[in-house]
Amino acid sequence: MNKPIIYTVGHSTHQSDYFLELLQAYSINCLIDVRSVAASSYNRQYNKEPLSNFLKNNGIIYLHFAEEFGARHTDPELVSTEAIASLTYSLSFISTDQFEVTEKVYQDNPKTQKRLAFSYNGNHYELSVIDPEFLQQHLYNPDLLKNVKLICLCLSLGILHNDWHYKLVAGIFFKKNHNIFLPTTG
């Protein structure tokens, strides 16, 4: 029995036509937008209405699941500690108790990049962190994870770069009071 494949994608700053090519290259017929607010101030073609119309005109279904998957949940029970802890092997959502936030500077980009070094399933990784909420919190509190014993990571693949799709840390969740919380500002 063939199992459905779920891909993740970010719009980045791509033009709509290139974004469509990415979707068509993998025969995507339905895009589920998981942003809390389906809007982009810099790339307005990715606002909810223009994106929905563009995809519909190109034969792709658009669904917006902000309440179900958006990062601004108000109910901390939506993802229980038990559900997270029971995951033992997944390429997209993992938990680890061996982790450290690191920084890296590349020669072609002087801006410091936050990375997460962690161990999982006998392997050691050091991946770029793209979680905007975590990056904001870590900027103001570098010791954010100092007393945290377990973190859960949402991993994703980046766009093609130098013939590779790099793994990225798209979300960092951490344990506090028997629930999993995404760091939030405020």
Q: What is the total count of domains within the chain? A: 2
Predicted pLDDT at 13: 80
How buried is residue 148: exposed, middle or buried, by Cβ count under 10 Å (0-12/13-18/19+)?
middle
CA distance linking residue 69 with residue 99, whole number of Å:
25
**What residues of the chain score a pLDDT lower than 70?**
1-4, 67-92, 157-166, 175-186
Predicted pLDDT at 164: 55
Predicted pLDDT at 106: 73
Angle between helices 48-57 and 16-25 (to 10 degrees): 50
Torsion of CA 44, 45, 50, 53, to 10 degrees: -170
Position 45 in a domain? yes
**Which residues span the domain enclosing 128?**
76-181
Which tokens in the block code for residue 68? 């179900």
**81 and 48 in a common domain:** no
Predicted pLDDT at 67: 67
Q: Which residues lie closer than 8 Å to 124 by C-beta, 6 or more apart?
A: 117, 118
Predicted pLDDT at 80: 39
Position 129 in a domain? yes
The answer to whether 19 touches 33, Cβ cutoff 8 Å, is no
Q: Out of 5, 39, 69, pick the residue that ends a domain.
A: 69
**99 and 55 in a common domain:** no
Position 147 in a domain? yes
